[in-house]
Amino acid sequence: MIQCAIKSFEFNATPQDYVEKGLYMTLTIKKLNKVYGNDFTALHEIDLEVNEGEIFGLLGPNGAGKSTLINILCGIVRKSSGEVSVCGFQVPEQHIDVKKIIGVVPQELCADGFFSIQQVLEYQSGYYGIKNNLEYIEYLLKSLSLYDKKDEIARHLSGGMKRRLMVAKAMVHKPKILILDEPTAGVDIHLTVSLWELVKTLNKQGTTIILTTHNLKEAEEICDRICIINKGNILALDKTENLLKRLGDTKLMCLFFKDMPTNLEAIDDFKYSLNKNEKSISISYSGHEVSKVMHQVNSLNQVAMDLKIKEDSLEDVFKHLIGVA
């Protein structure tokens, strides 16, 4: 970890509870509504809280309202009604204080046409009141594999590089809350991994993370809590592991044999199905029955050639809730 001397902010309107850490939720949203134009409801009576230091995932299909919610937090979209507060500061009344605390990577790709990456990041630091931030900028550029492009005009970068530049911009002032709206869209696999590493590092240092992604594996691995929304309504809001347990804790063991076993009564305690062509047996069992299922499989007295285990993934939960299963 690189130690950097960064001038921290002096907030003008410091609510007492901001000093006495932990008295408020990092993000509190109550009965939030957003109506675009006169009649299109993008968010409907949203209630949610994000705790300090967690990685919070906001999932949902296209048009669910994820970006709308994020854009309300950072001032790009006006709320229609409801309460939103960030670290005790109200949106939009105390928007300047809110904006100092958050760093946001918007979903829309955008890049400056006049300045190099290095300059863009220096300006970005200045906007947040930081005068000399070269060391941290270098650290971010290296972490996001942009260092050798630092003198390139931002607009001339490839799509994935632009996205990474936007991530660097959002991080430049070491925000308390980092909001990432599909930060990995268009970023290659290798760099996606290092991007999430960086996010996890920042999280360990105390940054609260709010993210959206369409990659459910990513979300399952990284998020502490997940909120699934669809058509502006919250369908589920829970710890990731609880969400995964929702469909029951059943797993499927698939065994492939050279010769199909005949004494199938040995596994009668479990539900199973046969596939004679593949010479395979699929046995469903729940998590705590592992040793029992192993024991019974052994007594089939046939050599298993291969073994696959399928667990419920977030994708199944997601499909189940959205109703496309």
Partner 1 sequence: MNNLVGFLTLFKKETDRYMSVAIQTLFAPLVSSLLYLAIFGLPMREMSSQIVGVSYLAFLVPGLMMMGMINNSFQNSSSSLMISKYTGTVSELLVLPISSFEKVMAYTLAAMGRGLIVGFLTLVTAMFFVDIPLNNIPLIIIVCLLVNSSFSLLGICAGIWAKNFDQMAILNQFILMPMIFLGGVFYSIKNLSGLFQKLSMVNPVLYMIDALRYAFLGSSDISIFVSMSILVAINLISFTAAWWIFHSGYKLQS
Q: Does 79 bind ligand ATP (CB under 6 A)?
A: no
Three-state secondary structure call for residue 93: coil
Q: Does 215 bind Mg ion (CB under 5 A)?
A: no
Which of these ranges, 62-70, 110-118, 165-173, 244-252, lies near ligand ATP under the rule CB under 6 A?
62-70
User: Which residues, 1 to 40, sit near ligand ATP by CB under 6 A?
Assistant: 36-37, 40
Separation CA 24–CA 33 (nearest Å): 22
Is residue 183 part of the contact set for ligand ATP (CB under 6 A)?
no
CB 283 within 8 A of CB 252: yes
List residues near partner 1 by CB under 8 A.
Answer: 12, 36, 74-78, 96-97, 99-100, 104, 106, 108-115, 119, 123, 126-131, 155
Map the footprint of Mg ion across residues 78-107, applying CB under 5 A: 107
The answer to whether 203 contacts Mg ion (rule: CB under 5 A) is no
Please give the helix or strand (H or E) that residue 253 lies within, else none. Answer: strand 250-257
Question: In whole angstroms, how far apart are CA 77 and each of 91, 119, 259?
Answer: 11, 28, 63
Short-list 188, 228, 194, 214, CA closest to 69: 228
Q: Is 67 in the site for ligand ATP (CB under 6 A)?
A: yes
Residue whose CB is less far from ligand ATP, 42 or 146:
42
Instruction: Tell me the CB-side half-sphere exposure of residue 322, using CA atoms within 13 A.
Output: 20
Among 57, 60, 175, 261, binds ligand ATP (CB under 6 A): 60
Among 149, 150, 152, 112, residue whose Cα is nearest residue 134: 150
CB atoms within 10 A of CB 67: 20
The count of residues interacting with ligand ATP (CB under 6 A) is 13
**Binds 65: which of ligand ATP, Mg ion, partner 1, none (CB < 5-8 Å by kind):** ligand ATP
59: left (phi over 0), alpha (psi -120 to 50) or beta: beta
Interface positions with Mg ion (CB under 5 A): 66-67, 107
Interface positions with ligand ATP (CB under 6 A): 36-37, 40, 42, 60, 62-68, 107
